[in-house]
Structure 1
Amino acid sequence: MARNTAEAWIPEEWETSKVVQSLLQVSAVEALASPIIMTSDTKHVPRTAGMGVDVVAKGGAYGEDTSLNDEVLLTARKFGKAARIAEEDIDDSVANLIDAKMMGWSKSYAKMIDNASLAVSAAENGTTVPFTSLYQLLNTTDATLGYTGGTNITTAASANLPSYTEFNSAMGLVEGGDYFDPASMYAIAHPAFRKSLRGVLDLQSRPIFLEGLNGTPDTIFGVPVRWSLGARVSATATATPTGRPIMAFVNPDLMLLGRRSGPESVFIDGRDGLSALTDESILKMRARRAWAYGHPNGASILVG
């Protein structure tokens, strides 16, 4: 049976909303990924294996490209939460309780979307595992794309203490591929890497990690680092992952983030309906997102 509702969802203003600004500060995926606007719950996005080029003699025939053309399917999933708020708390609080709840939701959502997109270790099921994460993608063999599962994943021999060789090997896996773009490459990593990185030196005893100054980003091997609290391995999507941290070397052009709606909210006044008996109102927040990474050869992961 269809659900009817009279409440209007109010979208956050992308340029000015504090909720959105908080979200972009915490979520590497929301900040870096290529946004795909969705007008329905699914969308097919073209994926190409590239296109060749030949030298063509004067008057000669052009050779026809035989590179694979296919697509990825983006399916929007809903991330939401409801907060029941007593009328007294709204009336008596000096601080804006509703704004505080919305800010808290945005930070939790930011960590969860990063975890779901980058570090979940199970196959997509549409609920507890909303997407095929980058970690799962790189662990899965795809004969059509010529990729063998696990090829682009490096696991540190000592947990939480990756060596110079392991950092170098992980980055080298993506540098050697056709999708490497030095102008746009990023490393997305859990902050747990910061401690170990500060002690890692290259073969000339130079630090591979440089902390940014005056607004410049931190870098590893000259690649900007974006820190994400969602970048820990987890069996299901969560805002509080506890597994081993990951550092993903990615091309943002291949990070496809479908935006169906949100962040948006609706406030249901407790003076109406059954909630009128308890003087409670309900605040609901949600965002509908889809995710896919364009090609497994365009990324690599170091598991710390």
Structure 2
Amino acid sequence: MARNTLEAWIPEEWETSKVVQAIQQISAVESLSAPIPMGSDTKHVPRTAGMGVDVVDKGGAYGEDTSLNDEVLLTAKKLGKAARIAEEDIDDSVADVLAAKMLGWGKSYAKFLDNACIAVTAAPGTGVPFTSLYSLLHTTDATLGYTADTNITVAATAGAPTYDEFNTAAGLIEVGDYFDPASTYAIASPAFRKYLRGVKDTTGEPIFLKGTDGTPDTIFNVPIRWSLGARTSPTASAAPGGRPIMAFVNPELMLLGIRSGPESVFIDGRDGLSALTDESILKMRARRGWAYGHPNGAAILVG
């Protein structure tokens, strides 16, 4: 028999929840993306290649725009985990076990989401919920006029990019129609920090500046959002082990579909079949969709 358990799921409060605060602090995708509310599992979001402009003489006819109009499809995927907790741990522990589990899930979810949206190398399938930015830039799209790997720069020496390689990657996004200096960010693995501190331009000036008093770190005056999920991985992971990447992005093109969550449900061990084990179950989930608006609006440096 079908069951409706919607009422059992308790959403995290965005203003006060430590789980949500941790996600916002750790996940560049959650904090920077344009949020797209989703009322169903799929949603079509319009995408345009822009619109031209002409000089129109007095009494003259307006020229008609021929720019491509199409759309991207957001498909909500469920990202979750369950924890089985013994009654003794809940009843006897001074620490709040449930709160600790929820916070731990939130931090893992933040890294997992960033990895899934930015750095996974494979196309959507088992273990790959979305077309990541890396996968998007690694694929030819003739309709959009993009050739595979055009906007991907790979460091000649793994883990130690040079000034020219950082400069090349940053320059790729600056020549596109989607470049906006006021809305450009770099999402990068913290593994780059060590090397960035030693990279200088031809005048001896460092390209990396450490932020102070609440201002972010910058590279070429572009704000950096550090993300532990910004490493390549064949499938989505909260602890990816591949090469670090730095992605130069326009947040307006980062489309994050929000279907529900983060939310949790607690299944008491004293109810139903679980009563045989004296264990309760805590489930956490968030349902998200993701797409990057246009491949010519981003660039990646693989460290």
**TM-score, normalised with respect to structure 1:** 0.98
C-alpha contact 1:7 1:266 (8 A) present in aligned 2: no
Per the alignment, residue 14 of structure 1 pairs with: 14
Offset, 1:5: 4.0
Counterparts of 1:146 and 1:272 in 2: how far apart (Å)? 58
1:273 positional shift: 1.0
- 1:117 partnered with 2:117: yes
Aligned to 2:70: 70
- Distance across 2 between alignment mates of 1:276 and 1:295: 52
Q: Provide TM-score, normalisation by structure 2.
A: 0.98
Q: Which runs of 5+ in 2 are unaligned?
A: none
Deviation at residue 194 of structure 1 after TM alignment: 0.1
How much does 1:16 deviate? 1.3
Matched residue type, 2:230: A
Deviation at residue 148 of structure 1 after TM alignment? 0.2
2:34 corresponds in structure 1 to 34
In 1: Cα distance, 2:3 partner to 2:165 partner:
52
1:53-202 matches, cutoff 5 A: 53-125=53-125, 127-202=126-201
| Alignment partners' CA distance in 1, 2:203 and 2:54 | 42
Q: Secondary structure at the match of 2:241?
A: coil
Amino acid at match of 2:260: S
Task: Give 1:91 shift.
Answer: 0.9
Structure 2 SS opposite 1:183: helix
Does the Cα contact within 8 Å between 1:232 and 1:241 map onto a contact in 2? yes
Letter in 1 for 2:66: T
Structure 1 alignment gaps of length 5 or more? none
Aligned-partner Cα distance in 2 for 1:52–1:99: 53
Shift of 1:3: 5.1
The aligned amino acid for 1:223 is V
Question: Residue 141 of structure 1 aligns to which amino acid in structure 2?
Answer: T
Distance 2:214 2:51 in 1: 38
Q: Counterpart amino acid of 2:14? A: W
Shift of 1:274: 1.4
- Specify the alignment match of 2:299 in structure 1: 300
Amino acid at match of 1:133: S
- Take 2:145 and 2:267, find their aligned partners in 1: how far apart are those partners? 51
1:255 alignment partner in structure 2: 254
1:232–1:73: structure 2 CA closer, same or farther, 3 Å change rule?
same
Q: 1:121-160: per-residue Cα shift (whole Å, max 9, x none)? A: 00112x4110000000000000000000000000000000
Q: CA deviation at 1:214?
A: 1.1
CA RMSD, Structure 1 to Structure 2 (Å): 1.0
The 1:62/1:6 distance shift into structure 2, 3 A limit, reads: closer
Amino acid at match of 2:143: T
CA deviations on 1:192-240 (whole Å, 9 max, x unpaired) are 0000000000111100000101111000000000000000000000101
Instruction: Give the SS at the match of 2:195.
Output: helix
Question: Is the CA contact 1:115–1:237 (under 8 Å) kept in the aligned structure 2?
Answer: yes
Note if contact 1:7-1:268 (Cα within 8 Å) is conserved in structure 2. no
Q: Secondary structure at the match of 2:181?
A: coil
Matched, 1:232 2:247: no
**Which amino acid counterpart does residue 279 of structure 2 have in structure 1?**
E
Taking only the aligned residue pairs, the percentage that are identical comes to: 79
Secondary structure at 1:30 match in 2: helix
C-alpha distance in 2 between matches for 1:260 and 1:4:
17
Q: How many residues align?
A: 303
Q: Where does residue 214 of structure 1 map in the other structure?
A: 213
Per the alignment, in what secondary structure is the counterpart of residue 8 of structure 2? coil
Q: Which amino acid aligns with 2:34?
A: S
| Residue aligning to 1:278 | 277
SS in 1 for 2:224: strand
In the alignment, is the contact (CA less than 8 A) between 1:189 and 1:226 conserved in 2? yes
Deviation at 1:14, TM superposition (A): 1.0
What is the alpha-carbon distance in structure 2 between the residues aligned to residue 5 and residue 179 of structure 1?
Answer: 43
Q: Distance in 1 between matches of 2:269 and 2:205?
A: 61
Q: Distance in 2 between matches of 1:166 and 1:285?
A: 41
Give, in whole Å, the separation in 1 of the partners of 2:184 and 2:7.
Answer: 43
One-letter amino acid matched to 2:293: G
- C-alpha contact 1:120 1:234 (8 A) present in aligned 2: yes
CA distance in 1, matches of 2:99, 2:75: 30
Q: Deviations over 1:275-300 (max 9, x none)?
A: 11221100000000000000000000
Aligned equivalents of 2:277, 2:260: Cα separation in 1 = 32
